[in-house]
Amino acid sequence: MAIRCLAERGYEATTAEDLAEAVGMSRSTFFRRFGSKDDVVFTDHDHALAQLESFLASTALRPGEALVEGTSDVLRLLIRDPEAARLRFELMRETSSLRNRELIITHRYERVFAGYIREVLPDGAPEWVPASLAASLVAVHNATLREWLRDRVADPPRAVTRDLRQLVSLFERWLSPESAARQRVLVAVYEADGSPEAVLGAVAAHLE
């Protein structure tokens, strides 16, 4: 496995020939498939991004649930091979160039999420909603992934789904305005000696 080769020999010390040999390819085939050592480390992210874009473009789920499911699926893909996930984490922790590449990957996820959110938001929604929700989705995903890598989360897909639903509920008024309207809370203040008819009339007036 290429990532294991990088972890064992060190990122800087490992050559393209070493990696090609580790995965049973010629040097030219390796470069056609991966392009660089960085691409070997982030190939799962490339798959996850393609999967996410395809899912969001075709899903019939309500926007909030689509965002939860799409983000959870990214996590499932990235941890499907626990050894590779842990080696990737260690390589990025020890290699500054990989940490810089990780930031680029993070921005790519945010752009995918933000693009979808802009498409589903109703007219009049604040302009900051897509960027802030997209960044928050990535942050919750990454926090869960790191907790799993540190053996603090036993079931990361379940944990991230729970936390993402809490996050998305904060944006419900824009993602599902019709649902938010049904859940509106009205606080009424009235005179203590007011008649029931007067109180009900005042409440009804505010709900119109």
Summarised one tens digit per residue, pLDDT across range 28-52 is 787 777 777 778 888 899 999 999 9
**Beta carbons of 92 and 99 less than 8 angstroms apart:** yes
Q: Is the pTM of this model over 0.85?
A: no
Strands of 4-48 (E only): list them: none
User: Domains of the chain, with CATH numbers?
Assistant: 43-207 (1.10.357.10)
Mean pLDDT for 17-38 is 78
